Structures are given as C-alpha cells and as structure tokens.
Structure 1
Amino acid sequence: MYGETIRQIRLKKGFTQKEVYGTIISKSYAIEFEKGKHQIAANLLLQILENLSMDIDEFLYIANGYRLDEQNSYNHQYTQYSNKHDIYQLQILLQELQQTSSRLNNVRIAEVRSRIRILQCLAEHGVYRKRAVLECDRQTIISYLVDVESWTLQEIQLFGNTIDLLDNDHNFLFFKKVSKMLEYYIDMEKGREIYCALLINLIEYTLKHQQYDATEVLVVQLKLLATDYKEFFHQAVCKFFQGVLLLRTGDKKAGKRITTKMLAIMRELDQGALADDFALLLDDDYLRAFASSE
C-alpha cells in the first residue's frame, strides 16, 4: 500500500524514481515496491520521504485515504465535542467505542463516559462535581497512567484531558512526570500544543482550588511556551488567567478589564462554550458551590 502511495505522490510531484530512491533501494526493488509487491523498512521509508520533501504524518494521512488514523481521529472528536459541551455527540462516540474491547479502548470509554457525566452534572446542577464520575472509570484512567512507565504524547494528553477527574495526589504525581519531559517536546509543534492545553487545564484546576501560588508559576510557564503566532488562543487564555489572578490577589479593576476583554474575544471567535467555562472562575457563588461539592 505504501509503495503505491509513494508512486502516486512521486508522479504528481514530477520526480523520477532515481531522484526519489537514489541509492536507498535498487531500481528493480523500487519498481516492485511501487506495485505494492514489496515492503520496506521504516528507516528506508523515512529516507524516501525526505527525498519527496514530505513529512511522515502527512504521508500516513494520504496513505489512509486523507483520513486521520484511529488515535488522531479519537483525539480530534473528543476535544471538539468536549470543548463545545456537545453531550449528544460524545454519547455517539461512546457507543462507537463500546463496539470493541482493548485496554486502550477501555481507557477511551472511561474518559468519554466521565466527560459526559461531568457535563451532565454541570447542565443539571450548574457545577462540575468530581463525584459525578464513576469510580471504576477513574481507576481505569489512573491505573493506565500509573502502569505505563515511559509516557509519550498520548499519555500526556490523556492526563491533560482528565485533570479535573483525578485527585490531588495523582495530579501532583503525574505533573512531576510530565514536567521532566517538556524539554524533549518544546521544539515539536504538536508537543507544544498538547503541553499548552495541559497547562491551561492545570491552571483552571488550581484556580478552582484557590492554589494561587501554583497558578502563578503555571501561568508563567504557559506564557513562555505559547509564543508562536499559531498559539494565539493559548496566549489569549493565558492573558485571561493573568486577569483572574489580579482579581483574586491584586488589582481587581485591572483584572476585571482583562478578563472581560479576553472572554469577549473568545466569544467573538465562536468559542462560547469555552468562554462560559472560564467565566465560572469569576463567579464566587459557583466557586463556593464547587468547593462544597469536592
């Protein structure tokens, strides 16, 4: 399959076989490879893609019929539906996941079902309640994260997505782990994106628990990480958090001005559900209800 895809890309780009394969594989092997009759080692495939001036992620996306692979498709759907509070679509996603069983799939089921229950609790009672999550689902997520000794971005993203479902001790333990790994991913666009989302969720968590010293440190980390123009949204959220800190610990007038402005920008950019979530951090009645529900 990969050989046939390589051939299509090569011809569309106007490259000869010699330009693409060079001394990587023989001419006869390249011909059979492009017919789909031969396989090729991963290191050789990467060299060939280098000659085609193509990223491995883009190649796999094209080879998969211009569709995301299973993991990326799940991440995309989960993030989109969760951020928009789309319980209906999350329920459909849950039903699809329940058609198969594997350890990783069971973790996804626990994650989606927990998010549904949290959002239903917010819709019914006006507050996020950790106890709305089934204990078996929480333990499924914790057990997976504890058992995986060496984390990759998949585990880092799972932790970031489930911070509000976990207890303080595990959040502290897992954050220590991901903090040590940041330097390895700081130059990788996808890695920075996942870490920015993780920091945003951690900051929201510390603000809800009035852990303002921790909030201040995390806001500085987010500000240092979200410097690229493509991380504009993360920068806007960081600015909002700075405003919340001012409201709670400093210049209330300046804090009010900043938070109002940032929430307006989010709504203008059609991120109303996220703006509503962040606005809860300004609602003293909500924070008291949240504290009493812990």
Structure 2
Amino acid sequence: MEKVGVTIRKIRKIKGISQKQAYSGIVSRSFATRFERGENDIQSGKLFEILNNLAVTPNEFQFINNNYKRPLMDALLAEIYEMYDNHSFSELSHWIKKHKESNSAEEKYAVAYAEILMFTFDHSIMPVTDNTYVLFVHLLEEKTWTLQEIKMVKIILPLVVKNTDVPFSIENLTRKFEKNCGNYLIENGDPFRVLNELISFYSIVFQIYLNIRSYKLAKEFKAKFLKINEHQLDLEGKITLKFWLAIYELYFGDFESGEKMIHQLENIQRLLSDKGKLNIKTIFDIRRKDAINYRKNIAMIDN
C-alpha cells in the first residue's frame, strides 16, 4: 500500500490540480511537498479537506491507495456473500477451513461471519464457535452500527433465535435496525442502499416467524414491506421487495396472484445479464411448499 501523500499526489496529477488548489488553507506548501514524498503524515480532518478539494470520496481514495484493489476485508466478505447468496454452502464450508488458521485480524473476523452464515443455514453443519459468539454479542450491545454492522446484524438474527443463552427481543432488534438504517437515509435519497438491507432484514424476520409458526407476527410484515419507499430502491431492491410481498400472498393472501408475481420476477431476472443476489427459484420452492402445508392446516382447523 502506498503512503497516503504519494497517492494524493498521484490523484492531484491525474486531475491537473495544483498544490495550491489542493492544500491552500490546510497545510503549508513545504509540508505539502514533504507529505507528497511520503515523509510527513497528516491529520484525518485535514485529509478529508484535501480529498474534498480533489473531488475524491474517501472510499475511492482507499481503493486507489490500495493499488486499485478492494481492502482485504471487503474482498473477503464479497467472496462469502457470493457463496452464501448462491447457496454454495459446501464451498463456503471449505472456505472457512482454508482461512480458519490465519493470524490476520481481517480473516478471523471474516471467518466468524462465515460461520454465522453456515449456522443460519444448518445448525448441524456449523456449531456456535467462540468467535461467532463474541461477534454477535458485541453487535447486539452496540447502540449504533456502521454499514458493515448493519449487514452483519441481519445474518445474526437466526442465530440469536436459536441460541437460548442470549435473551433478546426480535421486536427491539427490529426497531434498532430500522433506526440505524434511518441514519443513512437522506431526504428523497438512499445513497448507501440501506433500504436493500432493510428489506433483507425484514425478509429474515418474516421467515423466522414462519419457521417458528408465529403466523400472527409474520402477518404484520406486509405493512412493513409496504412502508418502504419503492422510488428510492435500485432494481435489485425493487425485485426483492416485490418477491417478499408475493411470498406473503402465498401464505396469507391470494396464492395464485403470489405465484404469478414470482414467475414475472423470474422472467425479469432472465432478461438481465446479472441476475442479482436473490435466488428466487430456491426460496420460492421452499416457501411454496411450506405455504401449501400452512393452508392445509388452516383448512383442517376450520373444518
């Protein structure tokens, strides 16, 4: 990884910006020269001012400063997300074994996260480890989350439900999740795509209630899905929102309408070169079968 000042100079040259334009009112010219040679360091506040003058976001700067590569943690989590979203659980299990003995703090954190994902898929495959336990207890105790914690908390939910040693209210966690997502929303905008995370969180809670047969609580989630401003969603978010509203119909509404909507969403995905993260067919097959059983049981009770 380059020295911060060396990367700043590279960006400044690319944009054709003079030292005066980049550093005026922030640091002296002599300091700026030494900084760009990698001889001086700089306070974070001043660095942000310089990045603002260069019209470069901190994320883009980090990417450039890392030789145009993702930070290690981002790269590891991207691998994990891809395997999990594609339901490649055997591959994910091998990934965990490969990285488990690493001394890298980033890899240890990523392994703990991957273990949580495996646990939520099948309790018999991956027992709760010390790393996993420490991670989710830490996240539950924190009042405010960054974007990465928001992504992780939604995966931890099924683990919390199964682990009776940690008393926690799903309803309280839901309110906390909503509040933290709200911190990243701006008027008429969702710059960090947190509404996608909120939809994903709602879908997980919705499925938890279906799995534990808490149908009264599950029914409440249609209102939550409908509260989300569809105009602020990207294509992936819109497809995912429509999908879960269709799953709701399979259980509690018009079954045929729900099926029709899901088939339409599958057709939309086929038109796209990138099918996105939502594995419609796998989830639909599981939920359709469970919804039919639910309706049969309701019919038997009514009769």
Which category of TM-score, normalised to the shorter sequence, fits these structures?
Answer: 0.7 to 0.9
Root-mean-square deviation (Å): 3.1
- Kindly indicate whether the alpha-carbon contact (under 8 Å) linking 2:63 and 2:71 is maintained by their aligned counterparts in 1: yes
TM-score, scaled to structure 1: 0.80
Equivalent in the alignment of 1:58: 60
Deviation by residue 1:19-59 (Cα, 9 ceiling, x = unmatched):
11111111111111111111111111111111111111111
Please state if 1:282 is matched with 2:275: no
SS of corresponding position for 1:189: coil
1:1-294 matches, cutoff 5 A:
1-87=3-89, 89-94=91-96, 95-100=98-103, 102=105, 106-116=108-118, 129-136=122-129, 139-167=133-161, 170=168, 172=170, 173-187=172-186, 188-225=191-228, 227-228=230-231, 231-266=234-269, 269=272, 270=275, 274-279=279-284, 280-284=286-290
Q: Which moved more, 1:259-268 or 1:181-190?
A: 259-268
Q: In proportion to residue count, which structure has more helix? A: 1
CA distance in 2, matches of 1:239, 1:184: 24
- Kindly indicate whether the alpha-carbon contact (under 8 Å) linking 1:33 and 1:39 is maintained by their aligned counterparts in 2: yes
- Cα distance, 1:68–1:244 mapped onto 2, change above 3 Å: same
Identity of aligned residues (%): 21
CA distance in 1, matches of 2:154, 2:46: 35
CA distance in 2, matches of 1:222, 1:43: 39
SS of corresponding position for 1:78: helix
Deviation by residue 1:87-135 (Cα, 9 ceiling, x = unmatched):
3542453222431265x7555323323434665xxxxxxxxx4454413
SS of corresponding position for 1:37: coil
- Kindly indicate whether the alpha-carbon contact (under 8 Å) linking 1:196 and 1:222 is maintained by their aligned counterparts in 2: yes
SS of corresponding position for 2:129: helix
How many aligned residue pairs are there? 278
SS of corresponding position for 1:135: coil
CA distance in 1, matches of 2:91, 2:135: 21
CA distance in 2, matches of 1:140, 1:48: 38
TM-score, scaled to structure 2: 0.78
SS of corresponding position for 2:95: helix
